Amino acid sequence: MIADDKVYGREQVEDPLLVELINSPELIRLKSISQYGLPPELYHKEGFSRYEHSVGVLILLRRLGADLKERAAGLVHDASHTAFSHVVDWVVGDPAREDYQDRTFLEFLKKSSLKGIFDRYSINYKEIGNLGNFSLLERELPELCADRFDYTVREMLGFESRDVIERIVGNVQNENGLMVFKSRGVAELFSAGFMECQEEHWGGDEAKARYHIFSEAIRLAIRRRYICFEDLMGTDMEVVAKLEASQDDSILASLGLLRGGFKIERAAENEGIFLLKKYRHIDPLVSVNGSLKNLSEISEEYARHLSFSKLENEKRKRVLIKPIN
């Protein structure tokens, strides 16, 4: 089959295991799960699906020379995401960690059709379910990995030129199972883009406010039994339809706020809410004269920016969310 990807272009996927995984119900479902959490009609940015990201990770891993198991793990690594992705961490998890999907991944594989596919190819699903086995695919922050790289450059397409994206994609390589940049300049380009995504989007007040509003609506819908938690294993718009069908004034007001817009104001100490979300930062490895250095070790400017960003993230502020009249 041919994968036609926005970032990497056309790629032939020939291995039968990978083709089966791509055509599985679990992967097909990801076409209807937004990477950004909320579907476009309830969000302030046009995004992309978890499916697009997953296939992108597969292509990237192939180009980095990953073996078949790691490519398969990359393809299915997001399959356990609920509807609305990390919004669920605001409902039942920890918004500052956003790790609900990671914690449930192995159990999800065990109960899914993916396990049967892996069984047929004599691959132990538990090996796939431990993403720590795959150093190109997943690394702890602030290290670079295929997962983190793909969702960043995929978002950077919205504010960077195609030439810049192609320079970044063409500058990464596999060194002993680690994803590294060949040059400092391109590492700085990527890291500046990552920082922009974090400061202007992922960790921005608008995104945090939307996550808060929508998670409150989901929590209320579960409490009033309009939906159950298992419904979140459907698609984004299937759950939105159930929220709308509830005809609950509070839930409809939340959806109206997300669609109609709102303003965010600083609040006094005794009012408003704190908005907390996972802080993401990157400090990629760069190949320098045969050795590997973190970008912050060889770029004073980036080290300063990274330090400032961390300090800004630690500041806690109360806000009020008000509808636009």
Q: Give me the domains of the chain, ranges plus CATH numbers.
A: 2-204+279-314 (1.10.3210.10)
**How confident is the model over 46-61, as a mean pLDDT?**
98
| Mean pLDDT calculated for residue range 108-116 | 98
Ramachandran bin of 57, using left for φ above 0, alpha for ψ from -120 to 50, beta for the remaining angles: alpha
pLDDT of amino acid 280: 94
289 φ/ψ sector (left φ>0, alpha ψ -120 to 50, else beta): left
pLDDT for residue 88: 96
Instruction: Please give the Cα distance from 248 to 238 (Å, whole number).
Output: 17
Q: How many CB atoms lie within 10 A of CB 2?
A: 8
97 pLDDT more than 90: no
Residue type, 159: F
Q: How many residues does the chain have?
A: 325
In this predicted structure, what is the pLDDT of residue 225? 98
Please enumerate in sequence order all residues whose Cβ is within 8 A of that of 101, keeping only pairs 6 or more positions apart, or say none: 78, 80, 81, 82, 85, 86, 88
CA distances from 82 to 74, 95, 105, 221 (A): 18, 15, 11, 16
Report CA 246 to chain centroid distance, whole Å: 29
Evaluate if residue 93 carries a pLDDT over 90.
no
pLDDT band at 213 (very low <50, low <70, confident <90, very high): very high
State pTM to two decimals. Answer: 0.96
Tokens of 143: 């290290």
What is residue 66's predicted lDDT score, i.e. its pLDDT?
99
| pLDDT over 90 at 171, yes or no | yes
Per-residue confidence band for 145, with pLDDT thresholds at 50, 70 and 90: very high
| Residue 311 neighbours by CB distance under 10 Å | 9
Taking the CA atoms of residue 293, residue 297, residue 302 and residue 305 in that order, the dihedral angle to the nearest 10 degrees is 130
Is the per-residue pLDDT at 325 higher than 80?
no
pLDDT tens digits along 7-50: 999 999 999 999 999 999 999 999 999 999 999 999 999 999 99
Return d(Cα 41, Cα 97) in angstroms, integer: 26
Give 306-315 pLDDT, tens digit per residue. Answer: 999 988 888 7
